[in-house]
Structure 1
Amino acid sequence: MNFKIHDKLIHEVESPEGLLYRMIIIYTCFMTALIAILFLVIGDTTKINFYFFINSCTVTVMVWFIRKSFNIFSRDIHLLAFRVSLFFLLNSSLASMAGGLNLIDRDTASVIAALLYVPAMLVIIHSFNKFIAYVNHNYKSAVSLSLTDELTGLPNRRHLNVKLRELESRAGTICIADIDHFKKINDTYGHEAGDKVLRNMGLRLSSFVKDEIFISRSGGEEFAIIIFDNTNAEDVIRNIKTSVSDGCNGSIGVTLSIGVAIKQKEDSSSAAITSADNALYQAKSAGRDCIMYGQRYRR
């Protein structure tokens, strides 16, 4: 399923954002036209100078900048403050334009422009800092979601690959654990019951997670366990298997088949994974509900 997110202004007439944006455009056009008309009526057209064109360009840029700010979909108060400050800067440029055309005294125009410009810049700086914090928070959340399995809450296969790269130059233990007869659970009790078993597995396994113990859902009913530096590896594996078998899944009995590979520093992670997979296959062939250790492979 393909979802497209368009980077466009939220400009529907019925939306508050669309109405506010249109009001700003109408206001800018009205004020610019008013300044131009007043200048043509009471001003000296021979005094149009480069300063006028600079202010016209500044007004255009400010309107464009305000428009781009509406591409950001957020209800955060700091974004509203940012837009208000941009509106102040727009009016500062309009005041400078009027002063440049001698419609108002230039000193007065400069004071008005400064009174609008200084607080606007202070609010922009403050809002920008808040916006950076907002973006960073959402970026971290997005990264966390991309590395987390939605159903179990455990790390996913992508996160597992990151940990395998970390393990490449270290010693450790890699386990592949598989829920026995999971297809039968789905066929007998339904997929909703199967999902519940997986969620319970996630809760059980997450209680074993520590700095040196990483557990992820590697796919389907399969889970990968990495124990760095072989810290009490055998005890951890036995405790995981016992905890899952004793876990509460209603009337559904759950057991695990586990394949284990011991990785030395000089071994590759991919070779250890292969060894653990082979050990898991042996565990299933031996009748399931058991732990098998694979032989050591090197790349």
Structure 2
Amino acid sequence: HINTWATTISLILSSSILAYGAMRSNYFPRFVLILAFLTISLAFLRMALALRDARLVSEDREHARTDELTGLPNRRRFIAELELLRRKNGTLLLLDLDGFKSVNDNYGHEIGDELLKQITVRFNRVLPSDVLIARLGGDEFGVIVYGNRNIGSDVALALRATCTYPFNLSVGDIRVGVSIGSVTTEGPTTTKEDLLKRADQAMYEAKRTGSGFIQAPIL
């Protein structure tokens, strides 16, 4: 703060000297005007560097919370948002792709990555703007939906619908499904760890039974 004030004061004084010197050319010695001009130039340079540094810090912070492959928020960002969900009404959805492992095994990780990118595009198309979707790792995604249980169910069904037709990849058409586990909270009655555990259990039950979507009891 002291450096900022010093820069601001020196900029104001130097500008005043230059302005007065322009009106009364013989009032200040030439070296004073040159010094004032240099001070202004350095002040603007310093502000430009400070703005650049602030932008770089902001970009680094954003990169640390973004999945590199899909561009979605990553697990770190998602866990931070879970703390907000815990204190509000909303639904946590955990998604796990069905058949993704065989795609990786048969075609390699590059095709698996291509598939994940296409799935991300489809998911984003059906989600309202106020819904957070994140890639949690591998072929697992997390979604946070604020509002009542019915809204969360509608979002889950929309996400499932995106996987009902094949993905056109560079090796041809590939089909995968998605299993979704859901848990709805109606206030700060649990921990984010408990939310994750319950949604995870529901998701694996949906995968085991082949039902595709299971809702855990409301918390």
Q: Same fold (TM over 0.5)?
A: yes
**Residues 147, 253 of structure 1: alpha-carbon distance in 2 compared, 3 angstrom cutoff:** same
RMSD: 2.0
Alignment partner, residue 197 of structure 2: 274
Q: Does structure 1 residue 184 correspond to structure 2 residue 102?
A: yes
Check whether the contact 1:154–1:206 (CA below 8 A) recurs between aligned residues: no
Deviations along 1:154-176, one digit per CA (max 9) or x if unpaired, are: 11001101111221210110010
Q: Report the Cα offset of residue 209 of structure 1.
A: 4.4
Alignment partner, residue 184 of structure 2: 262
Counterpart selection for 2:146 from 228, 240, 247: 228
Give, in whole Å, the separation in 2 of the partners of 1:233 and 1:187: 33
Considering Cα pairs closer than 8 Å and 6+ residues apart, tell me whether 1 or 2 has the greater RCO. 2
Alignment partner, residue 132 of structure 2: 214
Which structure has more strand as a fraction of its residues? 2
Q: Report the Cα offset of residue 114 of structure 1.
A: 2.0
Give, in whole Å, the separation in 2 of the partners of 1:210 and 1:191: 30
**Residues 141, 247 of structure 1: alpha-carbon distance in 2 compared, 3 angstrom cutoff:** farther
Counterpart selection for 1:143 from 48, 61, 65: 61
**Identity rate, percent:** 28
TM-score normalised by length of structure 1: 0.58
Deviations along 1:43-76, one digit per CA (max 9) or x if unpaired, are: xxxxxxxxxxxxxxxxxxxxxxxxxxxxxxxxxx
Alignment partner, residue 167 of structure 2: 248
Alignment partner, residue 286 of structure 1: 209
Deviations along 1:187-231, one digit per CA (max 9) or x if unpaired, are: 112111111111111212222444531100011100001101237
Secondary structure at the aligned position of 1:177 is classed as strand
Q: Which runs of 5+ in 1 are unaligned?
A: 1-109
Give, in whole Å, the separation in 1 of the partners of 2:166 and 2:49: 45
Q: Which runs of 5+ in 2 are unaligned?
A: 1-27
TM-score normalised by length of structure 2: 0.78
Check whether the contact 2:95–2:180 (CA below 8 A) recurs between aligned residues: yes
Give, in whole Å, the separation in 2 of the partners of 1:205 and 1:138: 30
Secondary structure at the aligned position of 2:84 is classed as helix
Check whether the contact 2:90–2:184 (CA below 8 A) recurs between aligned residues: yes
